[in-house]
Amino acid sequence: MKPSLDDPIQLAILAERALRGRPHGLYGGLALAVYGEPRETRDADVAVLDCAPDTVTRELGALGIETTVSFNGVPFGGLLISRVVVYSEAREGLNTLDLVQPADAEYGRRALARTVTAPLAGEPVSIVSPEDFVILKLLSTRDRDLEDAACVHNRCRDILDHRLVAAEVTLLDAALPGLGLAAKHARCVVLAGS
């Protein structure tokens, strides 16, 4: 059966197949549903390390999925975002796959070494750890990202490695000055109520 490409879960499963063998982890709204609480999402977000979107389009093409790169490596806070547009058979833009790369490559290597495998619609997928979900959201710039970080911080408070998050925030604050990550982390903790 052909996957429904407008379904972000099906797109995430296809991305998992396309990225297999490369460091990556599911991130964004689908990961929020795992660690926090569900919210509507229309796309799939995957944290990557030095993965060119052309590689993903080629791999998805091999799976019979028509795609194009909308933008590549656009700075977004402490992240670099690349977007792959997935097309329907009528050649209309149908969905997007965002490749999220930490601007600090050392942090990216550490974060993607901590991914876990979890089932998604019966398929095993790599997903970022709850700690790295919080950190990646702190590296973003939107208010909603801070709310997502606080949600996971709150829901996972008993299992979250708070020392790891604090240590990574300290390292990233030094590596990426001007983002104010320590202050954002402090606001996240207040929003989370812990």
Domain that holds residue 60: 8-192
Residue segments in the chain with a per-residue pLDDT below the cut of 70: 1-3, 88-93, 194
Q: Is residue 115 part of a domain?
A: yes
Whole-number Å distance between alpha carbons of 127 and 17: 13
Q: Where are the alpha helices (DSSP H) in the chain?
A: 8-19, 29-35, 53-62, 105-113, 130-139, 143-155, 162-175, 181-192
The CATH number that applies at residue 101 is 3.30.460.40
Give residue 41's pLDDT: 82
Answer whether residue 2 is part of any domain.
no
Task: Give the pLDDT score at 152.
Answer: 96
Asked if the structure places residue 3 within a domain, the reply is no
What is the total count of domains within the chain? 1
